[in-house]
Structure 1
Amino acid sequence: MIEFDNVTKVYSDGTVAIEDINFEVEEGTTTVLVGPSGCGKTTTMKLVNRLIDPTEGTVYFDGTDITEMDEIELRRDIGYVIQEIGLFDHMTVAENVGTVPNLKGWDDDRIRERVHELLDLMDLPAEEYANQHPTELSGGQRQRVGVARALAADPDVMLMDEPFGALDPITREELQDEFLDIQSELDVTILFVTHDMEEALKMGDRIAIFDVGELVQYDTPQNILETPKNDFVRDFIGQDRELMKLQVTLVENVMRETDDTSVPDVEPVSPSDTAHIALSRLLETNDDRLPVAKNGRVVGVVEESDLQGTSDPTRRSV
């Protein structure tokens, strides 16, 4: 879908933002670009929609060199969400969401239908929010509108630059969870920039870790936690690697399948819950195991030893 082939960006003042970057983003996945300030992650993202062009190398979009594509049309075909959101305060929520479809020449009925569909998806019912203005919304609601606007023209690719960074921790976590749920319904390839390793592990199918213009490691969350490439990656992850492994492991990958009706009569966990959630729930009970239920039916059990022996977990299917 998106390929970076020996890409280097040097700014006019001589600053080398990124140097000889090589990686490929698979269709339908979320790739998180993570690293400290000034490492080149945002520069890398901006190359995709030609807000900047590479000094050397090539960025391919579906096999085509993006410098050969019309930059205006390219940007209209790529959703873009930024931390500052950038909504137009003089326009209603519906008008903000419909901005790109309107520029692309969609008819009014089609725009209205798409806007209502996306507002409902973002838990902002159109009958309540469509005619409000951004100044009437909370920070979390404005960010939801920003995501809806990025999705409005049904893009194949969406760029998200620190999308939840300005929000308070509780709202940020809620939006992360909501977006993961929404993502399962979308057929879109996502590049997501953050400086927060925990957010990267939570949101990404693959993670690209940058340090001063260099792509240090590109891998799955699990592999990065299991085998950090060097001391920089190890230090950037921090001291809580074992806890982070629980946060990227699904219950379904460590549970023991059973239809035994004698499992403990306590609130079950779902196969799609993380091992961290299951362990927290287990410690709250007096039982030595938890039932795992799907669609109201017990499909397995999980014990503390299962949760702490996560040898081959997979965060989610790709």
Structure 2
Amino acid sequence: MTDTNTTSTTEESKTMIEFDSVTKIYPDQTVAIEDISFEVERGTTTVFVGPSGCGKTTTMTLVNRMQDPTEGTVYYDGTDIQDYDKVDLRRDIGYVIQEIGLFDHMTVGENIATVPELKGWDRDRIDERVDELLELMNLPPETYRDQHPTALSGGQQQRVGVARALAADPNVILMDEPFGALDPITREELQDEFLDIQERIDTTILFVTHDINEALKMGDKIAIFDVGELVQYGTPTEIIREPANDFVEEFIGADRTLKELQITSVRDVMQDCATARDGLQESVSDITAGVKTDGGELVLADGTGEQYVTPTDSVDIALSRMIQIDATSIPVVDDGELVGIISESDIRAHQSAGGDR
């Protein structure tokens, strides 16, 4: 048995998961996936996307040995996954599914503590971890720890499901259509919250969806599947700008330029204060009712949310707000501090240069 938590004394590899010529054929001779090869970098999110029955979920479940490959090798942290004990491996990998699968007879805190208890953590450590994760999920422990899942909304239950997957500090999390059953507003809220959480955890994530917009939003890399074949693997911008074939192009849809604006952050396009001093002063003076500087410090009037953007906003939001205020540029604000400017010309230049996030 291999200890999944053993830390190598050599320099840590950038690759967390590798598929090497992997094929999965079911007993009825159905070919689920055929000869797929790709690598997942440590600490990144890779999204598997494609139509129903294309092999994306099969590929993901090979990672925690819910299924084993017919041919080829799956490597987990540099080791053939067949060398791991299945039970230990699954306790080391977080798993979030669309149906959530919380235990209704257990409290929220007990649900989150399930895997740490199986791994033998002491009570104080478990309690501390439960409270930490509830705070991370915007579920105050004093309010939610002792509630039962049936008392929660669908979005709250899914947050608990994610907390449970993170509980034992796993190296890898598998997420199978985690937000698919939620209404559009809750789904977008959870997507945004999870993107924020990604910034604070060092975990490798495999994320399955059939929605290309969700894939483009959530993924550092995207694997597009079609009937058991890995058709294209790349960054969201690479997928949008250089679709591998007609299938990928049709799957992305006709509005590729808009999709690119939606996945490009203001941070990647903006000019900072030093670079854009003149343009920034002009932009700020054009919005005197909402944003101004006072002795070098930013002063925000009430109701000025549409007068500026943040570095983490997407470029399409910046364009939308420029239109709303009838301007060709808009200030960029981070934690109440004026940090730069983004303009229509900056966006056009970024697209022309082929910039990636």
Fold conserved (TM > 0.5)?
A: yes
- TM-score normalised to the size of structure 1? 0.97
**What one-letter code is carried by the residue in structure 1 that aligns with 2:309?**
V
In the alignment, which residue of structure 2 is the partner of 1:14?
A: 29
Q: Note if 1:107 corresponds to 2:122.
A: yes
Q: In the superposition, relative to structure 1, how do residues 177 and 44 fare at CA in structure 2: closer, same or farther (>3 Å)?
A: same
Q: Cα offset for 1:305? A: 3.2
Structure 2 counterpart of 1:117, one-letter code: E
Q: Distance in 2 between matches of 1:314 and 1:297?
A: 26
Q: Does 1:161 align with 2:176?
A: yes
Residue 243 of structure 2 corresponds to residue 228 of structure 1: yes
1-side partners of 2:149 and 2:253: how far apart?
38
Say yes or no: does 1:261 pair with 2:297: no
Tell me the TM-score normalised to structure 2 length: 0.86
Bigger drift between 155-164 and 266-275 goes to 266-275
Q: How many residues align?
A: 315
Alignment of 1:189-268 (within 5 A): 189-257=204-272, 258-259=276-277, 260-264=280-284, 265=287, 266=290, 267-268=307-308
Counterpart pick for 2:200 among 182, 185, 196: 185
Asked if the contact 1:253/1:312 (under 8 Å) is kept, the reply is no
Which residue in 1 is equivalent to 2:93? 78
Q: Which secondary structure state, in structure 2, belongs to the residue aligned with residue 166 of structure 1? A: coil
Asked whether the 8 Å contact 1:100–1:153 carries over to 2, the reply is yes
Q: Secondary structure at the match of 1:261?
A: helix
After superposition, the C-alpha distances for 1:126-164 in whole angstroms (9 at most, x for unaligned) are 100000000000000000000000000000100000000
Q: 1:272 aligns with which of 303, 312, 317?
A: 312
Distance 1:235 1:96 in 2: 42
> Shift of the alpha carbon at 1:271?
1.9
Aligned mates of 2:138, 2:113 — CA distance in 1: 17
| Equivalent residues of 1:250, 1:314 under 8 A apart | no
Gaps of 5+ in 2: 1-15, 291-306
CA contact (8 A) 1:248 1:314 kept: no
- 5 Å-filtered alignment, 1:17-32, equals 17-32=32-47
1:304 and 2:344 matched = yes
Match of 2:70 in 1: 55
| Larger deviation, residues 269-278 vs 194-203 | 269-278
| Separation of aligned partners in 1, 2:152 and 2:143 | 11
Give the residue type in structure 1 aligned to 2:356.
Answer: T
Question: Does the 8 A contact of 1:250 with 1:313 survive in 2?
Answer: no
What is the CA RMSD across the aligned residues, in angstroms?
A: 1.1
Q: Which residue identity does 1:88 align to in structure 2?
A: F
- Tell me what 2:186 maps to: 171
- 1:49-87 residue CA offsets vs partner (Å, 9 max, x unmatched): 000000000000111111111000000000000000000
Residue 328 of structure 2 corresponds to residue 313 of structure 1:
no
SS in 1 for 2:216: helix
More contact order relative to length (CA 8 Å, sep ≥ 6) = 1
How many Å separate the matches in 2 of 1:248 and 1:203? 9
For residues 304 and 263 of structure 1, the distance between their equivalents in structure 2, rounded to whole angstroms, comes to 12
AA paired with 1:285?
Answer: I
Q: Alignment partner for residue 284 of structure 1, among 310, 324, 343? A: 324
Distance 1:4 1:195 in 2: 21
Give SS of 2:34's match: strand
1:122 aligns with 2:137: yes
Q: 2:107 aligns with which of 84, 89, 92?
A: 92
* The structure with more radius of gyration: 2
Q: Deviations 1:250-303 (Å, cap 9, x if unpaired)? A: 112222332443423242211221101111111111222111123433332222
Q: Secondary structure at the match of 1:300?
A: strand
Task: Quote the Cα distance in structure 2 between the aligned partners of 1:63 and 1:289.
Answer: 48
Q: Deviations over 1:12-49 (max 9, x none)?
A: 01100000010000000000000000000000000000
**3-state SS of paired residue (2:175):** strand
The amino acid that maps onto 2:283 is V
Opposite residue 310 of structure 2, the aligned amino acid is S
> Counterpart of 1:312 in structure 2: which amino acid?
G
